[in-house]
Amino acid sequence: MSNADQSRRRAIHLLDQVLGEGKLLSECYAAGALDKLTAEERARSQRLATDTLRNLERADRVLQKHLKKSTPMTVHNALRVGTVELCRGGAAHGIVNEMVDIIARHRRHSQLKGLVNAVLRKVADQGPTEWAKLRVPRLPKWLRSPLTKAWGAPAMLAIEATHLSGAPLDLSAKPGADLSALNATRLPTGSYRIHGSVQVSGLPGFSTGDWWVQDAAAALPAQLLAAHSGESVLDLCAAPGGKTMQMAAAGATVTAVDHSAGRMARLSENLERTGLSATVIVGDALEQTGQYDAVLLDAPCSATGTIRRHPDLPHAKDGSGFGELIELQAQMLAHAWTLVKPGGRLVYCTCSLLPDEGECQVEDALEMFPDMTVGTRLREIGGIATDWITEEGGLRLRPDFWSDEGGMDGFYMAELRKAD
Of 28, 349, 351, 360, catalytic: 351
The SS3 assignment for 304 reads: helix
β-pair type (169-173, 211-213)? antiparallel
| Selection from 191, 245, 262, 201 nearest residue 411 by Cα | 191
> DSSP string spanning 46-110?
HHHHHHHHHTHHHHHHHHHTT-SS---HHHHHHHHHHHHHHHTT--HHHHHHHHHHHHHT-TTTG
SS (H, E, C) 277-288: CCEEEECCHHHC
395: β partners: 389, 413
Instruction: From residue 193, give the alpha-carbon distance in Å to each of 175, 186, 248, 344, 402.
Output: 17, 6, 22, 33, 12
Phi, psi (deg, nearest 5) at residue 112: -100, 10
Q: Which of 297, 314, 407 is nearest to 354 (CA)?
A: 314
- 351 noted as active-site residue: yes
412: nearest Cα among 392, 388, 395? 395
- The amino acid sitting at 285 is A
**DSSP-assigned beta bridge partners for residue 208:** none
What is the radius of gyration, based on Cα positions, of the chain?
23
- Catalytic residue ranges: 351
